[in-house]
Amino acid sequence: MNTEINEDFSINDNHIKVQAAKPAQASNVNCDKMTLKTSRVNEDKPLLTGTATLYNQNGSNLLSPSLRTLPDTNISSGPMNESLEKNGSASDYNPLLNRQLENPTSNFDTMIHLLKGNIGTGILAMPDAFRNSGWAVGLVCTALLGAVCTHCMHMLVRCSHELCVRTQRPSLSFPDVAEMAFEYGPPKLQKYSSAASKFINTFLVMTQLGFCCVYFLFVATNLQEVITHYFSVKMSVQSYLLILLVPMILLNCVKSLKYLTPASFLATILTVIGLGITFFYLLQGLPKTLNVKAFSSWQQLPLYFGTAVYAFEGIGMVLPLENNMKNPESFSGMTGVLNTGMVIVTCLYTSIGFFGYLRYGEAVKLGSITLNLPPEDLLAQSVRAAMAFSIFLSYGLQFYVPIGIIWPALKGYFHSQSSQRNAELSIRVFLVTLTFALAAAIPNLSAIISLVGSFSSSALALIFPPIIELMTFWDHCSGREFTLMFVKDVIIIIIGFLGFGFGSYASLWNIIEPMNS
């Protein structure tokens, strides 16, 4: 085969000749397999191509800037030395310097997104969590859980960077990191790499749909309180869920996040205002700590775990945020964006949980502290309405994750453009209706929050990251370093599985028992 493109390089069978700006500056590249990629100027007009780029079998750019300027450079690209590839020493590739982003986010923007992703309905359920743990246990365990969850986020980012270097890719998603970790893991476990990716996607879908169920029920419960007080209209929470169904479907027919940005911005403002007013009520007339329990009971402790892990719900967005940063090196580090944001989140959770439980004691309403605010105060009722509207607008952002996983997997079964459009719309309507049905079947806000946190959030936040770290660095550490990493990761995995098992059991019992009675 003999091909010439733009007089810059020619291809003769397995021999590639690259011509630089000057005739004397030519590079000869020998390779077993070559892929030619071009950047499109217009996606609708694929023939309008821009500059051509050569990639080797691993997807790395053969024509790096340094290679283009060096004369008489010869590169042999055959089977790569496997041990060098696995040790990450085959290249000095830096993924942080190879990301091409159209609209990268600043450190401040990333911080806001991190706070918004972690502060949702979970923070309003923290007084209920402290009721299940006791104020002293709640203070200690929330701080420890926040530290462990933050460490797991760091683990995920570190593994992502290491695997990006090995695979010569600028960024990886959560499922991609899991797949690559197993692919570079122990030989006997490499066959499970594809299953690991599917496993992460499955739990991401379950977690986000669980969040959507909670959001649905939260909006309906708070609306019920407001309307019952002012209009004396007594309807079941299922009736309010049914009223919300059509607006929820219409909201989630919006396919682009671009059009959800104003809704997200408004939701953020309402959340900040609502939390501020809630704090104002919580700090009025605080009793002594002797009036509440320092430790509740061992039977209730798993419910605390589920609610608290649900609140730390942001691990799924850590890699997307870091991958889209203008200065990704500022994400990690002792005073980086991640640590700073998670310290703020942990302090807010601890404050709301402690003062909410101290203020209302065992009378804390299940699922949301807003339900405890005095119904006769207009300001308190406005908080319920504002938080309900804020969570309603935030539903679309939570829904964007599962539809982004499910629809691409099903899109290939539909061939025409009209059938794809109708199929995607049908799937969106089905998933929103599914979350409505689940919320209507189990109208127990506290139990659903604890179940989602124990079953799916604990797996994503506490179980998968240490497993990924062990798979990624299994042959990169030795002696004392490997022992410390192994012991630390196994302890976190055990904590995750204990919370997963006991928390799910306690939450299911909390759901089934009221139904039987």
% the chain with pLDDT above 90: 55
Helix (H, G, I), strand (E, B) or coil at 4: strand
* Cα gap 57→80, rounded to integer Å: 10
CA angle 221, 448, 296 (to 5 degrees): 100
Q: Check residue 495 and give its pLDDT.
A: 94
Q: Check residue 514 and give its pLDDT.
A: 67
Closest-CA residue to 346 (of 142, 176, 160):
142
Type and span of the H or E element at 306: helix 301-311
Question: How far is C-alpha 146 from the chain's CA centre?
Answer: 16
Average the pLDDT over 191-201 and give the result.
94
- Token pair recorded at residue 329: 């090196």
Instruction: For 13-96, list the strands marked E by DSSP.
Output: 15-19, 26-31, 35-40, 49-55, 74-77
Least confident residue range of 57-71, 93-107, 115-129: 57-71
What letter represents residue 317's amino acid? M
pLDDT, tens digit, 9 for 90 and up, residues 226-252:
999 888 888 999 999 999 999 999 999
Whole-prediction pTM: 0.77
CA angle 35, 55, 156 (to 5 degrees): 120
pLDDT grade for 477, boundaries at 50, 70 and 90: confident
CA angle 233, 395, 384 (to 5 degrees): 40
How is residue 41 annotated by DSSP?
A: S
pLDDT, tens digit, 9 for 90 and up, residues 427-475:
999 999 999 999 999 888 888 999 999 999 999 999 999 999 999 998 8
- Token pair recorded at residue 369: 């502290």
Closest-CA residue to 309 (of 501, 487, 503, 135):
503
Closest-CA residue to 114 (of 285, 325, 263, 308):
325
Q: Check residue 515 and give its pLDDT.
A: 55
* Cα gap 196→181, rounded to integer Å: 9
* Cα gap 124→385, rounded to integer Å: 14
Q: What are the start-end ranges of the H helices in 168-192?
A: 174-183
Euclidean distance between the first and the last CA atom of the chain, given in angstroms as a whole number: 78
